[in-house]
Amino acid sequence: MAKLAPKPVGIDKISLTESFSEFKEFKNIDRPTLMSILETVFRNTIKKIHGDDDNFDFIINVDKGDLEIWHNREIVDDEFAEDSFDFNPSKHISLTDARKIEPDFEIGEEVTTPVRIEDFGRRAVLALRQNLMSKIMELEKDHIFNFYKDRVGEIVTGEVYQVWKKEILIHDDEGNELILPRTEQISSDFFKKGDSVRAVVVKVEMKNSKPLITLSRTSPLFLERLFEQEVPEIFDGLITIKKIVREPGERAKVAVESYDDRIDPVGACVGMKGSRIHGIVRELKNENIDVINYTNNSQLFIQRSLSPAKITSISIDEENKRAEVFLKPDQVSLAIGKGGHNIKLAGKLTGYEIDVFRESEQDIEDVELDEFTDEIEGWILDELKAIGCDTAKSVLELSVEDLVKRTDLEEETIIEVRNVLKSEFE
């Protein structure tokens, strides 16, 4: 029959909230899990000291956050304790020692005594604490990894904690570390410590046993999620985003479709007087956003994708996925767009290689200089206009030397301009 020894003065419970108070600050671990870790670590310590934990009982009080350890030993006579090789201090206790605990103990009975932290020894306690911290940190990392693994594709908001040359360190509401690389930032983005940042989670991985959460503001997913937040019809599934293509910070094209004939998908996305899309444009640093009605009609879809340019006719080669688009001269620069972004995005959106041609190109006698604003800087065109050259041919009729003398332009610049103008007539 087992008898319980009286509890000694001192620490007789392994208290999470007192002896290991720092562990309660781990926000992502519930108390039952923490107590389970605590038990595992103490069991391992007991095994190291005594060889096994068969003679030990572990009692966990999750509500109070403490752990009791009781050591069960059989009482043997003093001669067996002193002379027998079978005596095991982990399993046995001499009668003399047992009666120091309780005077009426007899041989063969089982005595149960509480285990105190100081019983382990200073070195073992330090190792135990380190082991416990290691396991909790590991659990913390796993929790963060799994939490964000399920949030890939979602927008998160955080605060800039540190700015480096190639990336920004962001803290979320829980203090978890997120990374926004420079390559995933819009070119005009500028952040300083303390700024609030919105971005989409694009990648979650374990690197050197540490969760690495990568954010992006350039991903099409970011724009898609912004539309879902601003346009209730998209969030509710009444309007579907078929495809998004972006030149981050410059231009984006969004193809949308409505399954309800009563809903105008483009109008719903833009909002009254642009109320819905303005917030998205501001978030993306004034990125121009074209919202387009999706259609299975390739010709019509290409025509819409080249908006705001008005197309005269289209010739499509379905086999090679190429499209020849013919426009009036004043529409060509609109179709190409600043820096070629418009035609490039139209090609990505439709899946066709788009070639732009001026309508009746063979009949064009001359082209106004204003038609070249996308290829030649405005101040250069103004220099040419100042000497009376308003058309491409009027410039080409003058020699390089003559243009150098009559303008403030460098010879190299003039040669580049003439090459651009010549290409119009080739």
DSSP string, 266-296: HHHHH-GGGHHHHHHHHHTTS-EEEEEE--S
Which range has the worst mean pLDDT, 32-36, 99-103, 308-312? 32-36
For 393, the token pair is: 């041919």
Find, among 236, 231, 234, 239, the residue nearest to 259 by Cα.
239
> CA neighbours within 13 Å on the CB side: how many for 354?
30
Residue 143 has pLDDT above 90, yes or no: no
Separation CA 265–CA 304 (nearest Å): 14
Q: What pLDDT does residue 62 have?
A: 64
Alpha-helical regions (H) of 51-118: 78-83, 95-101
Is 393 within 8 Å of 412 (Cβ atoms)? no
Q: Which of 18-27, 298-307, 406-415 has the lowest mean pLDDT?
A: 18-27
Report which listed range, 7-16, 162-171, 310-319, 383-392, is most confident.
162-171
- Work out the pLDDT band at 231, boundaries 50, 70, 90: very high
Question: Encoding tokens for residue 75?
Answer: 């009482």
Q: Distance between CA atoms of 334 and 342, rounded to whole angstroms?
A: 8
The pLDDT score that the predictor gives to residue 212 is: 94
Helix 341-350 × helix 329-336 angle, to 10°: 70
Domains identified in the chain and CATH numbers: 2-144 (3.30.1480), 152-216 (2.40.50.140), 228-362 (3.30.300.20), 367-423 (1.10.150)
Give the mean pLDDT of 91-103: 87
Task: Encode pLDDT of 320-370 as tens digits.
Answer: 999 999 988 888 888 988 888 999 999 999 999 999 888 754 445 678 888
The Cα 243–Cα 110 span in angstroms is: 75
390 vs 370: CA distance, rounded Å: 8
pLDDT at position 360, please? 58
Token couple for 233: 């019809």
Q: Average the pLDDT over 77-106 and give the result.
A: 85
pLDDT tens digits, residue range 175-205?
Answer: 899 999 999 999 999 999 999 999 999 999 9
What tens digit of pLDDT does each residue of 260-301 get?
Answer: 888 999 999 999 988 999 999 999 999 999 999 999 999 999
* pLDDT attached to residue 162: 94
Q: Which residue has the higher pLDDT, 63 or 106?
A: 106
Amino acid letter at 216? S
Specify which residues 75 forms β-bridges with.
93
Structure tokens at 154: 């979602």
CB 357 within 8 A of CB 328: no
- CA-CA distance, 110 to 10, in Å (whole number)? 23
Ramachandran angles phi, psi of 201, nearest 5°: -75, 120
- Alpha carbon separation from 295 to 118, 223, 340 (Å, rounded): 76, 21, 24
Average pLDDT over residues 114-118: 79
pLDDT at residue 363, as a whole number: 45
Q: Is the predicted pLDDT of residue 136 greater than 80, yes or no? A: no
